[in-house]
Amino acid sequence: MTPSSRIQAVIELLDEIIATPRPADTLVSAYFRARRFIGSKDRAAINGLLFRAMREYHRLSWWINRAGAEVNGRSLAIAALIFAKELEAGEVRDSFSGGKYAPAQLTREERKLVEMIDGKELVSPDMPQRERTECPEWAYPLLRQSLNGDFDKEMDAMMHPAPLDLRVNAIKAERDEVLEELKNDGFDAHPGELSPLSIRLFGRPQIAQHPLFKEGMFEIQDEGSQLVALVADAKPGEQVVDFCAGAGGKTLALGAAMNNKGRIVAMDVLGGRLLRAKERFRRAGLHNIETRELSSERDKFVKRHLGHFDLVLVDAPCSGTGTWRRDPDKRWRQLGPGISALVPLQKDILESACRMVKPGGRLVYATCSLLPEENEMQVENFLNAHKDFAVKPAKEIVDVPGAGDFLKVTPAQHGTDGFFAAVLVRKEGTA
């Protein structure tokens, strides 16, 4: 592909992402599947510019609006190219030539944009804090309050791409042996600092093609997500429910912790995700997991299993504010329910799931959110309504800096996605 045709591809992808209420990574994968002629180097170049534009969306849009241009795939690509110092003003005009496979020639508004930003830095002294920190309008007051003096630091940490973390499958391998083999194969691999099962890779390698991955020796999982599974503390022989299992990442970690002994029921209202998770379970060599599609959080299965389980993990649907470095489009696109709908949904899920916990058992509530409304406040309201549950301090289970009553990890403090987890124990004699 020519440099101009790469830019055109980025424009097409940005326009599709802006217009389509589906995750960006899904749309990008579909785009490349339909164009298998695009080679690996071209894909890397396209993805580089595309994800830069998505990570810098609010800052780029601020400049575009000042120039009086429309915020779309073309203007975002133009601004991203100039601020990245990939092209100078004249080179942008040449690239937008209108030739075969190249973007159409610049409009008057786009020429004005190029002239305005040429030689400028992306962050202007005049730029408001919300745009400068890439914070969506709806979340700005909430995060400013919850993060307080750490707001700028945490938001800055989420502007950078997330690292690639692996979780070693403890029933098949030891971390040291996997680490050694990856290093011998030329990977820049290092032991994780927080999870005893974690390996961090640098350089964004295509690790899913590695034989160890295909043999189920490890899974791709953020180290923060691994900590949620560790604080759940699943034990061999226990009866366990993963109430919002999704694609099964935490289910896999629970199953390995249980050494394939006992029973896990992986549940979700999205049956398609559970179906895809089954292949991951097979690859990992786990046979103590069954899947169940739920009609809703009040599915009849819950009523039939009151007080039955040692552990119920509720990895609740949430705003995902802790994952913005991994999913930068979520900073400027709302793909699911808003916070006003999520908080009551989380409450309903907790109210239903807690009924399955037996006396002495654990209810673990987790989110990938940084908002107290979805985390501490949700737990406080639950405990006020359920005197038969009490907090078991996370610091008694995992050795993580800053862990107290709850597990809280953030991009700036821990180098992970943002996660929250609370372990709530049902008191004995309260069936």
Could you report how far apart the first and last alpha carbons of the chain are, in Å?
66
**β-bridge pairing 239-242 and 263-268:** parallel
Output 96 or 203, whichever has higher pLDDT.
96
Phi, psi of 354 (to 5 degrees): -65, -25
Q: What is the pLDDT of residue 87?
A: 86
Q: What is the pLDDT of residue 270?
A: 85
The SS3 of residue 307 is coil
Q: What is the pLDDT of residue 299?
A: 85
pLDDT of 431 over the 80 cut: no
Looking at domain 223-426, its CATH architecture is: 3-Layer(aba) Sandwich (3.40)
Q: What is the pLDDT of residue 123?
A: 96
Residue 242 β-bridge partners: 266, 313
Tally of CA atoms within 13 A in the half-sphere of 254 that contains its CB: 32
The SS3 of residue 306 is coil
Residues in the chain: 431
| Range with the poorest average pLDDT among 186-200, 329-343, 376-390 | 329-343
pLDDT of 429 over the 80 cut: no
pLDDT of 162 over the 70 cut: yes
Using the 8-state DSSP alphabet, how is residue 343 labeled? Answer: H
Domain 164-220: which topology?
A: Alpha-Beta Plaits (3.30.70)
Q: How far apart are CA 232 and CA 366, in angstroms?
A: 10
Asked whether 198 and 226 are in contact (CB, 8 A), the reply is yes
Q: What is the mean pLDDT of residues 305-316?
A: 96
Q: How far apart are CA 127 and CA 408, in angstroms?
A: 31
Is 3-123 a domain of CATH 1.10.940.10?
yes
Q: What is the mean pLDDT of residues 151-171?
A: 95
**What are the tens digits of pLDDT across the range 383-414?**
999 999 999 999 999 999 999 999 999 999 99
Q: What is the pLDDT of residue 12?
A: 97
Tally of CA atoms within 13 A in the half-sphere of 336 that contains its CB: 12
Q: How far apart are CA 407 and CA 400, in angstroms?
A: 8
Asked whether 378 and 343 are in contact (CB, 8 A), the reply is yes
Asked whether 227 and 416 are in contact (CB, 8 A), the reply is yes
Residue 363 β-bridge partners: 312, 424
Contacts of residue 45, defined as CB under 8 A and 6 or more positions apart, other chains included, come to 6
pLDDT of 430 over the 70 cut: no
Active site residues: 368
Q: What is the pLDDT of residue 304?
A: 92
Q: What is the mean pLDDT of residues 8-13?
A: 97
Q: What is the mean pLDDT of residues 359-386?
A: 98
Q: How far apart are CA 431 and CA 389, in angstroms?
A: 11
**β-bridge pairing 164-168 and 198-202:** antiparallel
Q: What is the pLDDT of residue 298?
A: 83
Q: How far apart are CA 307 and CA 329, in angstroms?
A: 41
Q: How confident is the model at residue 342 (pLDDT cuts 50, 70, 90)?
A: very high
**Residue boundaries of the structural domains of the chain:** 3-123, 164-220, 223-426
Q: What is the mean pLDDT of residues 326-335?
A: 90
What average pLDDT is seen over the chain? 95
- With a pLDDT cut of 90, the percent of the chain lying above it is 90
Q: What is the pLDDT of residue 271?
A: 84
Q: How far apart are CA 352 and CA 233, in angstroms?
A: 21
**What are the tens digits of pLDDT across the range 38-81?**
998 999 999 999 999 999 999 999 999 999 999 999 999 999 99
Could you tell me what percentage of the chain is helix, strand and coil, using 3-state DSSP and rounding each to the nearest 5? 45, 15, 40
Phi, psi of 28 (to 5 degrees): -65, -45
**What are the tens digits of pLDDT across the range 94-149?**
999 999 999 999 999 999 999 999 999 999 999 999 999 999 999 999 999 999 89
**What are the tens digits of pLDDT across the range 230-272?**
999 999 999 999 999 999 999 999 999 999 999 999 999 888 8
Asked whether 334 and 283 are in contact (CB, 8 A), the reply is no
Nearest 5°: CA angle at 169, between 325 and 282?
100
Residue 384's identity, in one-letter code, is N
The SS3 of residue 430 is coil
Query: What pTM, to 2 d.p., does this model score?
Result: 0.93
Asked whether 417 and 326 are in contact (CB, 8 A), the reply is yes
